[in-house]
Amino acid sequence: MSGISQPGQSGAEKVIDGKAFAAGLRERVARAVSTVSGAQGFMGGFTPGLAVVLVGEDPASQVYVRNKGKQTQETGMRSIEHKLDARTDQDTLLTLIADLNADDDVDGILVQLPLPKQIDAQSVLDAIDPAKDVDGFHVINAGRLATGGAALVPCTPLGCLLLLQDRLGDLSGKHAVVVGRSNIVGKPMAQLLLGANATVTIAHSRTADLPAMCRQADILIAAVGRPEMVRGDWIKPGAVVIDVGINRVPAPEQGEGKTRLVGDVAFDEALAVAGAITPVPGGVGPMTIACLLRNTVEAACRRRGVAVPEM
């Protein structure tokens, strides 16, 4: 449970296995689904349903949507997919969102980003019923998170928080530095850490002397989108490092035209200094869909006024 480097701690022990943690979370979600759906004698049982909307044929988005659908079904929930042509206009998409909002069998609505240029993404996200906003991107959920209300929380930062709490336990009094201030990752991450009583600094592209800022962190979150930007000598010895970045870079050593995924942190350098660190891939990435499934069960229970099972 301690993120502080212990003498003799091996590199392997320092690596936070997000894949394994996400698998455990999915099992807990499946148990919760089984409880609420009546398989364990629950009165008035229901099976949560997640609607995923994909506009266009972006290959990465298609993979994400396929994985979301598969994992939704594996946890015993209903998966509803809507695939729309890349030329779909905003009004057509808003009509679909209105239909999904009104459909009592739909508990969660996720619109896969990015959307084509002709569509204003924030208008679409804000058209989703906040009670079904399992991505947590609606301005109402962002506001509730910021004011300490019962919000549906964006999945990637929620996944980071769960990994941190698993490794460190109580985050009270720790200094967390979040590098990145996007609405999707950086800002909600900072709010979650504040809610967990960490002292939070948000850094971004205009931060003066970013390495010195990072060196102050007991918890360092990198959500930047710049391959291996955070170097080993930016990290305080023993700090816990959460690497949100997913960057595809050329890998000529693996053959012509090959690529590989790296995070925002120079992993090998950081591993030598940090108390714990998430790898890329296999760290934060798998947590995102697992938290989406958790949010779907939570939304389904809250809409029906049912207590949310432990997950």
Site of interaction with ligand NDP (CB under 6 A): 156, 179-182, 184-186, 204-207, 210, 223-226, 244-247, 284-285, 288
Nearer Cβ to ligand NDP (177/301): 177
Distances (CA, A) of 190 to 145, 217, 294: 10, 13, 20
Q: Is 117 a catalytic residue?
A: no
CB of 223 to ligand NDP, least distance (A): 4
Least distance in angstroms from the C-beta of 272 to ligand NDP: 22
Minimum Å gap between C-beta 147 and ligand NDP is 22
Nearest alpha-carbon partner for 34 in 22, 20, 48, 21: 48
* Contact between 115 and 54 (Cβ < 8 Å): no
Q: Is the peptide bond before 281 cis (omega within 30 degrees of 0)?
A: yes
CB burial of 95-122 (b: ≥16 within 10 Å; e: otherwise) equals: ebbeebbeeeebbbbbbbeebbeebeee
* Annotated catalytic residue 258: no
Q: Which of the residues 71, 112, 236, 243 is marked catalytic?
A: 112
Contact yes or no for 239/253 (Cβ under 8 A): no
Residue nearest to ligand NDP as judged by C-beta position: 182
User: Is residue 170 annotated as part of the catalytic site, yes or no?
Assistant: no
The two tokens of residue 240 are 């816990």
Q: How far is the CB of 288 from ligand NDP (least distance, A)?
A: 4
Smaller CB distance to ligand NDP: residue 130 or 245? 245
Determine the Cα–Cα distance for residues 307 and 310; give it in Å rounded to an integer. 9
List, as one string, the DSSP characters of 112-177: PSSPPTTS-HHHHHHHS-GGG-TT--SHHHHHHHHHT------HHHHHHHHHHHHHHS--TT-EEE
**Residue 238, H or E segment:** none
Q: How far is the CB of 37 from ligand NDP (least distance, A)?
A: 28
Burial (CB < 10 A; 0-12, 13-18, 19+), residue 173, is exposed
From the list 129, 135, 243, 264, the catalytic residue is: 135
Shortest Cβ 68–ligand NDP spacing (Å): 12
Q: Residues 6 or more apart from 76 whose CB is under 8 A from it?
A: 30, 33, 34, 37, 47
Q: Are 54 and 62 in contact (CB under 8 A)?
A: yes
Dihedral sign, Cα of residue 15, residue 282, residue 289, residue 181: positive
Catalytic residue set: 68, 112, 135
